[in-house]
Structure 1
């Protein structure tokens, strides 16, 4: 019978061998260790201090810190939250006892998560103390950005201690606070009050350059001498309009960029009126807010404006002499009278050089009435996400209002699953009049479906635009945004048209009853 050879018992490494293994990590160069830490989240990067002696000091040099209470929430919290939402869905008979049990479980998970979050923040403050605590400058933490996500419970007092230390001692310049509303929160107001009263040191406070607040109170801007960008998100519906007006009229505010995202406001008029001749604001973004009208009477430094949302907002422009880039996006008509382009583009937009508009919805709500004012400075135009059921010839309104327009790109959105069998919407009957455009040199239609109205529009432009050099008819192409005010056309797949079909399209664009443009470059893709 053959003998079975037993494996030899592994000997336990001695302490010297353990030190040698630890020294292998310590032998790595600092640049390599920094690259490893930059690819880890903050929680994991801080825990690497237990690996080796050299790793203990490296977390001090992390340029960005992100502390989120969501990282410590258990899986049963998310399951209970999803089950709670399903029990309250329309058509479902709610079970009161089961809902109360879920509410208690969700609240208990939030309290425990905030205790763990507070313990972690307290340990971080003890490990990396503030200035003046007897530690040398090169031994204190250094960070440029800090992001905090928390529930505003009793344990949130650690955030009040962390913010002054981060700004004064760690050199944080970019700060983001996200106050997640607790479950079944009945308080109608900001969930967290930004502790500006704790930041009494003028020298340290001036380091803050970028501030993002979600569901938080708005601090007095004149207290922050270097603040260049402010982002407000998820402000409650009880926020008075005076809070938003102070953002523009705050004396001594250096603010250059302001973004309002999903912000509510109180009152029946819900009209934001801005008039500040001393404002330094250069960029304004309003996205998904509940304003009904925005009137910019005086913003002398404003260069970029973006107004987007599900509901349309009436936009009135006054003295904005430097306004050069405008982006407008609305998907539904919420108020009578918003069907005219004059509600969005009036005399204040005469100097705009780049314009991107996205007016969409189930049916065309743009009335075919020409603009009373001229967009004399407009050079580049994008009309994106036009529903396939709309009469695309409404874009002639913008062409007729922009005598200096050079590039015009139109994107027709593909029909959705519910729109495949829908009939095209009502057509526009344009009156007969003579019109000539002498600057437009390029027209592109992305999502070109070879419909009669699309061909009619392209042929019309080829006839009236005397400087036209190139026409692009792109079937399976889309628009890729580059920021809010720039874009590029991107091909999604190869063109399915045959060479014969392409030749027919080129002939339709180049030749007509009243014009002949054989030199016109027509690209079909």
Structure 2
């Protein structure tokens, strides 16, 4: 082959000759930004994107520069060193260690120095992020209706447009799976704003640092089949209020509560809930009082007293109790508290087909 022919061969667009079904698979593997860029290639690619891409991940992390993440990691590592020194000294009952004082001062110095810098980056990124999400979700009415099956929004801090984002995503674009993550802050949303929308198809909802206003029977909750609540979304009264309204809920996950929660008493005799997962859900005890359709229960984190009531279909239980601190991470303090295994099987445990026990640390003693 001659050099000129070889050069022309390299420039030839061979990928567009593939079947549309294959091209759609390729586009679906791309991130949202790259997939959107394919629309400028040709009319064919524009149509492919419109008909194929149904999942979008719009995160502020894509805008924040690498230096932001490096500086944030410095603060995290300094705090980890301080916590490790503090936990190690709990054995001696003394906080006078020179190493501990040094690690504390080092952490505080880095926090005071770097926090204003991190906040400036976050404000800069959020201004650009808001423009990007507004252009995507708050498009004029004459814009062609797109199909959005999955949508993930991740912001660092609040925005005055958050209510509009949620309402437009669920009520206008018909999102079926929505994940909303708000870092460094929290947000409260009134789900009754969606009651008048006719295009609501929401089945799966993930909320992190976003909780709902107390509302009687919001219609959106009645169609949910999967719900995950994280961090500030885990306020007990809000969790119980949601459970009472989620008539079709099958899967519930509660993750990473920031503070100690009161006893979790679950009384939902009319619920269809089949799977309940508690991951670092910091609570005194869990009472499965009345969950008639529950089949799978998993609990991970700090040792928690568990009482079983009316759970006739429960067959799979997984208990993963680690020696943890209040943040849910491994605790090196080696607390002298112990928990009898019988505390994890209070009440009337059903006949199980599958039981997993993972107990680490010195906090667990034998049956009694």
Please state which band the TM-score falls in when normalised by the shorter chain. 0.7 to 0.9
- The residue correspondences of 1:391-470 to structure 2 (distance < 5 A) are none
In structure 2, the residue corresponding to 1:301 is in which secondary structure?
coil
**Partner-residue secondary structure (3-state), 1:258:** strand
CA contact (8 A) 1:232 1:263 kept: no
Structure 2 residue aligned with 1:351: 351
Match of 1:365 in 2: 364
| Greater relative contact order structure (CA < 8 Å, 6+ sep) | 2
Deviations 1:292-339 (A, max 9, x none): 111121111211111111x20000111111111111111239796721
1:315 correspondence with 2:314: no
Q: Which TM-score applies when normalising by structure 1?
A: 0.56
CA radius of gyration, larger in? 1
Matched, 1:257 2:251: yes
CA shift at 1:33, angstroms? Answer: 2.0
Give, in whole Å, the separation in 2 of the partners of 1:332 and 1:69.
Answer: 34
**SS of structure 1 residue aligned to 2:322:** strand
Q: Secondary structure of the residue that 1:285 maps to in structure 2?
A: strand
1:180 corresponds, among 175, 178, 183, to 183
1:43 partner SS = helix
Q: 1:178 to 1:367 in 2, by over 3 A?
A: same
Structure 1 residue 247: Cα displacement = 3.4
Aligned equivalents of 1:98, 1:262: Cα separation in 2? 26
SS at structure 1 position matched to 2:188: coil
Q: Report the Cα offset of residue 111 of structure 1.
A: 1.1
Check the 8 A contact 1:149/1:178 in 2, yes or no.
Answer: yes
Does the 8 Å CA contact 1:25/1:52 hold for their aligned counterparts?
Answer: no
Aligned position for 1:293: 285
- Partner Cα distance (2:168, 2:364) in 1: 53
Match for residue 19 of structure 2? 29
Q: Name the CA distance, whole Å, in 2 between partners of 1:46 and 1:197.
A: 33
- Does residue 79 (structure 1) correspond to residue 70 (structure 2)? The answer is yes
Which residue of the partner structure matches residue 276 of structure 2?
A: 284
For residue 69 of structure 1, what is the aligned residue in structure 2?
60
Q: CA RMSD in A?
A: 3.1
CA distance 1:298–1:23, shift in 2 (3 Å)? same
The 1-side partners of 2:107 and 2:352 are apart by: 57
Partner residue in 1 for 2:331: none
- 1:22 Cα deviation (Å)? 9.3
Q: Which residue of 2 aligns with 1:40?
A: 30
The 8 Å contact of residues 190 and 212 in structure 2, kept in 1 or not, is answered as: no
Number of the residue aligned with 2:87 = none
Task: Report the Cα distance in structure 2 between the residues aligned to 1:209 and 1:70, rounded to whole angstroms.
Answer: 26
Q: Which residue of 1 aligns with 2:47?
A: 57
Distance of 1:297 and 1:141 partners within structure 2? 44
Shift of 1:200: 3.2
SS at match of 1:103: helix
1:198 aligned to which of 179, 185, 193: 193
Structure 2: 5+ residue stretches without partners = 83-101, 325-334
* Matched positions, count: 327
